[in-house]
Amino acid sequence: MDALDRALKEGGFGAYVAFGTSGDANILYLTRFSTTDPILYIRKPGERGLIVVSQMECERAAKEATTAVISRADAGFFDVAKEESNPWRVLARVIGRQVEGPLLVPPHLPYALGSELAREREVAIDGGVLARMREVKKAQEIRCIRDVQHVCDIAMDRALRMIRKAKVRKGLLFQGAIPLTSSFVRSAIHQVFVQNGCIPSDTIVACGEETAMPHRRGDGQLREGEPIVIDFFPRHEKTGYFSDMTRTVCRGEAPPEIAEMFGAVRDAQDLAARLIRPGVSGAGVYQAVVDFFRDAGYESGSRGFIHSLGHGVGLEVHERPGLGPSGEELRENSVVTNEPGLYYPGTGGVRLENTGVVKRGGFSSFTRFERELVL
C-alpha cells in the first residue's frame, strides 16, 4: 500500500483518475508506459491501476505498462461516442462506467475533463500526494539519475575539450578553420547524449553578455576572455529520468568581475552542499546562500542571485523539492540540484550546478566534474 492508496482510502475516493501522454510525469511514474497519444489512467484503492489505450497499443501496453490494460472499445468508448459528440464528455462517461464515487485527480487534469466529471460527482484535486511520492526516490530511480549524470560528465568533458583546444584569432575561437559556435558545441554535446541513449532538451551554450540571462540558449561564435555557461539536462530515452548540470568556463584570462563571481559561486555551492541534509528546509539552505552572497557583496532578487538554489530532479527536470524562498523540509533520498548563480547585465553570468541525492550524511553529489573557470 503506497501513499496514493492511503490517500484514496482515507478520502473515501472511488479512484484516482489522470489523462495524458507519458510527457506527463505522473502518468509515466504510475504506468511506466511511454506514449505520445493520451491515455486514461484509473487507480482504485488497493489495485495496481488500469490504463485505457487504443486498439493498436493494447499488445505493447500489455508488455510494457505496470498496470492492467484495456482497449478503448472494451472500455465502452465507441458505444458512448454513438450518443455523445463532445470527446471530453465521452471520456467522462467512460470513467463513469469504471468508477463510482468521488474522484481524486491531479491538478493538471485537463479542465475540459475535470469540469465534465464535476457535473456528476465530487472531484478533489490532489494537493501533493503524487508529487511527494515522486519526491523520495527509490534505489532504482537514484541509479537511473546517476547514470544520466555520468553521461552529462562525458558530454561536459567533450565540450570543454573543444573550447580548450580551440585556436584563438582576434579574440574569436576556431576549430581549425571553422568558427567554434554555440551551436557547434551544442551539437557535439548532443552527440554524446544520443550515443549514450539520452535525449537532449534546451541545452545552453551561451557566451559573454548572453550569460546574464540564465536560460538564454546561446548563439554565435564563442569568444576569448568571456564567460561561457554550459547547462544541459538530458533525459534517458528508456527510463525517462533526467539529470541536470552546469559549468561556467572562460577560454583564457577571465575578466576580474567574472573571476570574483566564480569564486563566490563556488564557495556558495560548497556551503550549500554542507547544509543540505534530511530535515533542513530548502528555504533555509537558500537563505544561507543569500546571506553568504550578501556578505560577499552580491545582492539577491532582481539582480545577482536571481533564481532559486535548486530543485528536485526525476521524471521532470524541475520537480519537488524546491530550494527557494518557499522550500519545504528536505527528505532523505530526494534528488536535487545545487546551483547557485550570479547574473549582472553588461557583465555576464556564472552558474555551477551539481545534481545529487539527499542522504542522512548530507548531500551526495552525482556530479564529480571539476569546477575550473579558466581553460
Does residue 174 interact with its own copies by CB under 8 A? Answer: no
- Closest of 206, 263, 266 to residue 231, by C-alpha: 206
Binding to its own copies (CB under 8 A) within 73-92 occurs at: 73, 88
Is 212 a binding residue for its own copies by CB under 8 A? The answer is yes
Measured between alpha carbons, how far is 237 from 311 in angstroms, rounded to an integer?
21
- Closest approach of Cβ 128 to its own copies, in Å? 11
Q: Cα–Cα distance between 324 and 312 in angstroms, integer?
A: 11
Cβ proximity to its own copies: between 318 and 359 the closer is: 318
Whole-angstrom distance, CA of residue 195 vs CA of residue 107: 36
Round to whole Å and give the CA distance between 78 and 76.
Answer: 6
Separation between Cα atoms, residue 319 and residue 317, nearest integer Å: 6
Q: Is the dihedral of CA 213, 217, 221, 227 positive or negative?
A: positive
Residue among 217, 331, 359, 371 that touches its own copies (CB under 8 A): 217
Question: Does residue 66 interact with its own copies by CB under 8 A?
Answer: no
How far apart are CB 115 and its own copies at their closest, in Å?
7
Per-position x/- string for 130-169, each x denoting binding to its own copies as judged by CB under 8 A, each - no binding: ----------------------------------------
- Position 54 contacts its own copies (CB under 8 A): yes
Q: What single-letter amino acid sits at 35?
A: T
Residue 273 Cβ vs its own copies, minimum distance, rounded to whole Å: 22
Is residue 213 a contact point for its own copies (CB under 8 A)? yes
**Cβ-based nearer residue to its own copies, 36 or 140:** 36
Options 66, 125, 167, 263; binder of its own copies; rule CB under 8 A: 125
Binding residue for its own copies, selected from 5, 11, 32, 60, defined by CB under 8 A: 60
Q: 282, 312, 329, 348: which is closest to 25 by C-alpha?
A: 312
The distance of closest approach from Cβ of residue 114 to its own copies in the complex, given in angstroms and rounded to an integer, is 3
Would you count residue 34 as binding its own copies (CB under 8 A)?
Answer: yes
| Position 345 contacts its own copies (CB under 8 A) | yes
Is 3 an interacting residue with respect to its own copies (CB under 8 A)?
A: no
What's the gap between Cα 362 and its chain centre?
21
- Decide: is 118 part of the binding site for its own copies (CB under 8 A): yes
Q: How many residues does the chain have?
A: 375
Closest CA to 137 of 320, 273, 367: 320
Rounded to whole angstroms, the maximal C-alpha distance in the chain is: 72
Q: Is 197 in the site for its own copies (CB under 8 A)?
A: yes
Nearest to 336 by CA among 360, 356, 317: 356
The CA distance from 207 to 220, in Å, is 8
Among 115, 143, 165, 274, binds its own copies (CB under 8 A): 115
What are the CA-CA distances from residue 261 to residues 120, 215, 301, 344, 372 (Å)? 58, 18, 16, 10, 13
Site residues for its own copies per CB under 8 A: 23, 34-37, 54-57, 59-60, 63, 73, 88, 105-115, 118, 123, 125, 183, 187, 190-191, 193-195, 197, 199-202, 212-217, 237, 301-302, 306-307, 317-318, 343, 345
